[in-house]
Structure formats: structure tokens, C-alpha cells
Amino acid sequence: MSQLTELSAVKCFGGWQKRFSHASQTLGCDMQFSVYLPPQAKQGQALPVLYWLSGLTCSDENFSSKAGAQRVAAELGIILIIPDTSPRGEGVADAPDGAYDLGLGAGFYVNATQAPWAEHYRMYDYIADELPKLCDANFKLARAAIAGHSMGGHGALIMALRNPERYSSVSAFAPIVNPTECPWGQKALSAYLGDDSSQWQQYDACALLSEAGTNWTMPMLVDQGLADNFLDSQKLSRPLQALCEQRNVPAEFRYHADYDHSYYFIASFIEDHLRFHAQHLR
């Protein structure tokens, strides 16, 4: 297990907003991630944790600086762990045309099998296995929940659907729920996994839920802005809601007039998500 190097620490609502780096064996590069430790962490007891997965173009710092989640996390005694969205560093492949939706900042939380991506782009294994083990070894963690935005909402949903024993609840803001059928997902999945679309299904929340059927019982909350420019073009939220209704899967989908795809939307409703998870984490 690699060691953590503390990069920064800022006092925040009685706790600490910190940033760490470590050498990732899974990704074959150095990685950074952010952690909010609420004031209860200094008392020594294990605390519940919420993993937050960010969207396209983001790093581990967008959520910690823009969402305003620390105040409520401090009140509820929840640790926030915020990983980066892709491998980084010299020698890590990037989109040759500098596109924002492939390569750096766009790992899509999958294990790539195609060159040149396969060497480093194994974000699924990093989020599902390496990062939790690293954090368990360095922080006192109790039960876990997972949440995310856009591409990170996709990541949170597939992590929860494929690993239901690891998380008490899942939530998402404007998630990509059917990547096999939307432009962002098709571009990323074909690049990372190849042209055989049968290999894509393991990273598609709608496909995974179809397979799980009525056996899926994990509490789920999804918020979606109706002024989101990507709502229809990237098929956000609605296909998963339709599937949940068809299969009588309990899940709450909320739609908000005039809200877009930005962190202003996330900041407006992040308190609801933290309180939702707190109910199930305890």
C-alpha cells in the first residue's frame, strides 16, 4: 500500500479540508485526491464516508471548492473523499485533438482495454478497490455511500450497482445513465473498450439495473436541472427513471426548473444529498 503525502490542509467548519498525493499501483502514476475530515474525526471514532465522483474536465478540487458541502458534512460527521477523474502525469495518454470528453479529466470510471489507454486508464479498479483500501488504512472509516455529477453520476451509479454490498446509498446530479446510447458515452467507451458494444454494458447504469431487476433495493436519489443543456442530447437521468418505474425499483428523481448543469446547481441541493445519505449511513 502506497503512502500518502499531504499537499495542503485548510481549517474549515471546525474540521480540515486536505489534499493528498500517492503513487497509484492501479493507474501506474501519481494521483491526487481531496478529503474533508469533519471535527468529529479528531475524537478518534470511525466515521461514515461519502465518496464523491466528479464530472468531465474536473479534478479532485472542483467539488471541495465549489459545492459548499463541508458545513453540512461537519454537522453530520461525514468524511468526504473526492478522487480525481482520470490518471495524470507525463506519459499518460490524452486525446490527440485536446478534446475535453476523452483522456485527461475524462476517465469515465472504466478499466480501459485498448491502446494507448489500457496502460493507465483503470479508474474503475482505482475507485472500487485501491482508493478505499488506501483511505481505510489512513482514516477511520465506517459505512460508505457514493455520489457524483454527470460523468461522476454515471460512475457512482455503476459502482453502486456492481458493488451493492459496499455502499449504503447512492445519489447523483444530472447523471449520464445510458452511456451506450449517448454521444459522450459512445465516444469514451469505444475508445477505451473497443468497438464491441457488448463490452460496454458493464459500465451502463441502465443495462446494469435491467440485469439486477427488482433485486435492486439500495436507496437512490437523483436531481436533474430542466435547463441543463445536456439533458436531452446526452440522455441524462430520464432513461434510468423510466426503467425504475417500469421495474418498480424504489428511487427518487427530482426535476428542477431553471437549473443547469453547473456547480451552482450542485451547491443548491448538496445539503439534501448529504442528509439523504446520513439517514442510511447510520
Q: Which pLDDT tens digit goes with each residue over 211-222?
A: 987 788 999 999
Cα–Cα distances in angstroms (integers) from residue 150 to residues 58, 118, 145, 266, in the given order: 11, 23, 17, 11
Contact between 79 and 142 under an 8 Å Cβ cutoff? The reply is: no
Q: What is d(CA 50, CA 147) in angstroms, rounded to the nearest whole number?
A: 7
Question: Residue 176 has what DSSP assignment?
Answer: B
Quick: pLDDT tens for 49-102. Answer: 999 999 999 999 999 999 999 999 999 999 999 999 999 999 999 999 999 999
Q: What is d(CA 39, CA 267) in angstroms, rounded to the nearest whole number?
A: 21
Centre a 10 Å sphere on the Cβ of residue 140 and count the other Cβ atoms it contains.
15
Centre a 10 Å sphere on the Cβ of residue 232 and count the other Cβ atoms it contains.
10
Give all strands of the β-sheet with 15-24 in edge-to-edge order: 5-12, 15-24, 29-37, 79-83, 47-53, 141-149, 170-173, 220-225, 252-256
Contact between 79 and 38 under an 8 Å Cβ cutoff? The reply is: yes
What's the rounded mean pLDDT across residues 43-48?
89
What's the rounded mean pLDDT across residues 241-258?
95
Quick: pLDDT tens for 144-180. Answer: 999 999 999 999 999 999 999 999 999 999 999 999 9
The contacts found for 101-106 with CB under 8 angstroms, 24 or more apart, are: 101/56, 101/184, 101/187, 101/188, 102/187, 102/188, 102/191, 105/56, 105/57, 105/58, 105/59, 106/56, 106/57, 106/151, 106/188
Average pLDDT, the chain: 96
pLDDT for residue 2 is more than 70:
no
* Per-position b or e across 15-38, b if 16+ CB within 10 A of its CB: bbbbbbebebebbebebbbbbbbb
99 contacts: CB under 8 Å, gap ≥ 6? none
Quick: pLDDT tens for 174-194. Answer: 999 999 999 999 999 999 999
Q: State the catalytic residues.
A: 150, 228, 261
Residue in 127, 137, 115 with CA at minimum distance from that of residue 203:
127
Q: What is d(CA 270, CA 36) in angstroms, rounded to the nearest whole number?
A: 15
Contact between 26 and 125 under an 8 Å Cβ cutoff? The reply is: yes
Please give the pLDDT value at position 257: 98
Residue with cell 471548492: 65
Grid cell digits, residue 175: 447523471
